[in-house]
Amino acid sequence: MNAILITDGNCAFCQRSASKLARIVPEGWINVPHNELIETYGLTQEQLAHSVWLIEQSESDSIRNSGAKAVGKVLRIRGGIWGAIGWLTFVPPTSWIAAGMYRLVANNRKFFSRFV
């Protein structure tokens, strides 16, 4: 299965975060800025502006996750403690916290760009 993380190509914070994620999980996925994939995967411009997306494709299936779950799925590729942290983005109540934290950061990326 191929995993493609689609990020906001115009967001320096998003690109730096994806680079840091690539250091943690160096294989099994690629980061592609959304300005290169506007509607290739059936996503709207609004969806791409709102959240990061992970598209996992196999010959017969395509799985799409956004936001904290997209990041969690990439961490699950790594396995170990990182994989365990990734699983928490799918299990309540930690999934609720992860989703809320993701939205807080995503809505305030310009502020958080100073820290990444």
Domain segments of the chain as ranges:
2-112
CATH number corresponding to 2-112:
3.40.30
- pLDDT tens by residue, 12-71: 888 899 999 999 999 999 998 876 666 678 888 788 888 999 999 888 888 999 999 999
Q: What is the pLDDT of residues 80-91, one digit of tens each?
A: 999 999 999 999
Q: Quote the pLDDT of residue 79.
A: 94
- Asked whether the predicted pLDDT for residue 114 surpasses 80, the reply is no
pTM > 0.85: yes or no = yes
Strands 30-33 and 2-7: parallel
Residue 3 has pLDDT above 80, yes or no: yes
> Rounded to 5, what percent of the chain is helix, strand, coil?
55, 15, 30
Respond yes or no on whether the N-terminal peptide bond of residue 33 is cis (omega within 30° of 0). Answer: no
Confirm if 106 and 3 have CB atoms less than 8 A apart.
no
pLDDT attached to residue 97: 98
Instruction: Locate 28 and state its tokens.
Output: 């099994």
**pLDDT number for residue 36:** 64
